[in-house]
A and B are shown apart, each in its own frame.
Chain A
């Protein structure tokens, strides 16, 4: 996906030439988003995927995961190129073009 490369078998993600140190959850989140780039996923969908189970009470936890993931994959986490927030909905992964 754009500048991001995801190796499912080795559970590694690359940005350009740089190997990213992702936690298992972060990797799961990234690869799930990357399977369908540009598709918007709701927080519940994402959380269900990475946690295996969720309740509405835990919904905001995805924001924390996304924040952590952004810190690692984005050059400027405050202005994300790849992992974008869709206000009121959830998140999507884009190829990184403006």
Chain B
């Protein structure tokens, strides 16, 4: 069994098909020969019956003349020699005990007692009741006085007939063998066609697992294997994509960390060397860079925790109105110089919500700073709150430059920074973290945008029941 299991698929399938083929051909051979031979035998019997017809009449008149079967041999003996008038089979007179058309005959009385047999080969005492009905009845004045059998009726066929039956058997066997041979050849061809793509699929998979993600998987068939190869190719491409993202991520992280670190090092070394004084001003700028660094590291930790569903939340019951009014003032100050307008649209009745205050502010500021970054003078940034029984809906809407489809699709992706350049002092984690924070609160977040019309980020929060 284990040896069978280790066989290649091609051989397994072939073995299976071959076994099925042989079994069905053997079955066909037996069934076909049975029915064909049956028909042929029936035909032969009716043929011999036709030829024995005149003998039947002669026997009937012999019985009528003599009132019994005594001396019936002479009727048969008359035919054993040349002069038989019927039959198209030619003469077989040389064969002892056969009639001109090469047929044995046998005569019984109505109950099956054998009265005459033309050869020793078919001689017997009685004929069974089942076989009896196959014989030709000999009728005298409407009464059955005996039955005449030809060899065929008794299952004894003449040489010619045996030849015919043998040739029927032979043809069926030859046909079976030829079809087995053809079927095997066709099977092999088909199986090769079927199994060959598997080989290619395996090689393509090996190429992928060896780390080469550049070779497309193309099998070219339209069946399930083709489907499998397309799925595999999708898998390869998504692997290639995440591999690329990972590479960029590492490069970005290194890049973002390197600049402030280089600055800090240079500054600290300058102070150690006495080139610069360790003044408040110098230390202050170090502190600012350090702050920036820890912010980057915080973001990395946030995203790592959030994606492992382990973002710690310090959930509290919050007054959203108060929180938004606090934010409002900060946004207004922020926008003051830019001639951008800020609107806060909060319904008068707003349930309290449960959330982590710092995280919620992080979400709001991420969305707001996004909105502010993508607007110019004259644009409007709006925070709009809708209160529903099941959820509180917060929109951050801007009338800024909007996003194209491509950006829209990736805006929540980690390390995606749209058109922004590398040196933007950001890892492109803001919105990814925002999304994870909202998710951790059990809310949803989504974005709608039209290029040059504006963008609307929306997220939901759970009201306190």
Residues of A at under 8 Å CB distance from B? 23-25, 40, 42-45, 50-58, 61, 64-65, 68, 86-90
Contact = CB atoms under 8 A, between A and B. Distances in A.
Interface string B417-434: 000000001100010000
Contacts of A61: 330, 333-334
A25 B332 CA distance: 11
B206 interface: no
A80 to B, nearest CB: 17
> 6 tightest CB-CB pairs across the interface, nearest first?
A89-B284, A53-B361, A64-B333, A44-B291, A52-B361, A61-B334
Interface residues of B, number: 31
A65 B331 CA distance: 10
Nearest to B362: A53
Interface string B270-295: 00000000001111110110011001
B358 A86 contact: no
Contacts of B336: 64
Given A52-B358, A89-B281, A25 B366 contact: no
A24 to B, nearest CB: 6
B373 A57 contact: yes
B326 interface: yes
B369 A57 contact: yes
A68 B336 CA distance: 10
Given A55-B366, A56-B295, 7 more contacts: A24-B325, A42-B291, A51-B330, A53-B365, A55-B365, A57-B425, A61-B333
Contact of B280 (A44, A51, A55, A86): A86
B83 to A, nearest CB: 128
B366 to A, nearest CB: 7
Contact of B333 (A44, A68, A86): A68
Interface in B319-365: 325-327, 329-330, 333-334, 336-337, 357-358, 361-362, 365
A43 B285 CA distance: 10
A51 B327 CA distance: 7
11 contacts: A24-B329, A25-B326, A50-B330, A51-B365, A52-B358, A53-B358, A54-B365, A55-B430, A56-B426, A58-B369, A89-B283
A50 to B, nearest CB: 7
B361 A23 contact: no
The majority secondary structure among interface residues of chain B is helix
A89 to B, nearest CB: 2
Contacts of A50: 330
Contact of A57 (B291, B362, B426): B426
A52 B326 contact: yes
A86 B334 contact: no
B329 A23 contact: yes
Nearest to B283: A89
A63 B282 CA distance: 19
Contacts of B327: 51
Contacts of A86: 280-281, 284
A25 B358 CA distance: 16
Nearest to B365: A53
B52 to A, nearest CB: 116
Interface string B207-236: 000000000000000000000000000000
A90 B284 contact: yes
Contacts of B280: 40, 86, 89
A64 B287 contact: no
A2 to B, nearest CB: 20
Contacts of B334: 58, 61, 64
A43 B284 CA distance: 10
Contacts of B295: 44, 55-56
Most chain B beta-carbon contacts within 10 A, residue among A51, A86, A90 = A51
A51 B285 CA distance: 21
